[in-house]
Amino acid sequence: MHPYVEIAKKAVEEYARYKKLPSMPKTISTELQKKAGVFVCLKKLGNLRGCIGTFSPANDNLYLEITKNAVSAANEDPRFEPIQKDELQDIEYSVDVLSEPVKVNDISELNHMKYGIIVIKGFRKGLLLPDIEGITSVAEQLRIAKLKAGIDPSDDDVMIFKFMVQRYK
């Protein structure tokens, strides 16, 4: 198991059992001292059970970003009830570390398998990770990201950003 996934798993388990975040180690690797947006997705028996993240860093380091987003994915995803202790043995974890978003000038620059996207119109923002099961085109990726943002899917007057992810399982 990758160390990022171990951090997410420990955070979810400790919160489910004791309702507290694990303490950050006194020293963390140089890699974990970096800042980046992170999504943590949880699956139970192959089905999505929670997925929450940040498209830009909200914490001082990657350790905290993973820890807080893992606990949020387990407890604050509005699509699901919080994860209970008796479910922990069935949870699978993935941690996506996002690259810096880059503005897209033409949708020909997109590839739904390679890039995640962020759509923005005014204060509305929607994000979709790359390579999501069931999404088979850029058009579908854009439509879903707009819906998530509360933007009419036919509205083409949006800013689009793309990003890559390093996915750890």
**Where in the sequence is the domain holding 120, given as residue range(s)?**
102-164
Percent of the chain with pLDDT strictly greater than 70: 100
Residues 19 and 49 in one domain: yes
Residue 157 CA from chain centroid, whole number = 25
Task: Tell me whether residue 169 is in a domain.
Answer: no
Q: How far apart are CA 132 and CA 36, in angstroms?
A: 21
- pTM (two decimals): 0.93
Task: Tell me whether residue 56 is in a domain.
Answer: yes
Per the listing, tokens 């990022």 go with 4
Q: How far apart are CA 146 and CA 151, in angstroms?
A: 5
pLDDT for position 35: 97
Q: How many domains does the chain have?
A: 2
pLDDT for position 169: 93
Tokens linked to 157: 């007057």
Strands 47-53 and 116-121 come out as unpaired
Of 42, 63, 98, the domain-final residue:
98
Of 81, 98, 115, the domain-final residue:
98
pLDDT in tens, 76-127: 999 999 999 999 999 999 999 999 999 999 999 999 999 999 999 999 999 9
Residues 54 and 113 in one domain: no
Q: How far apart are CA 113 and CA 132, in angstroms?
A: 8
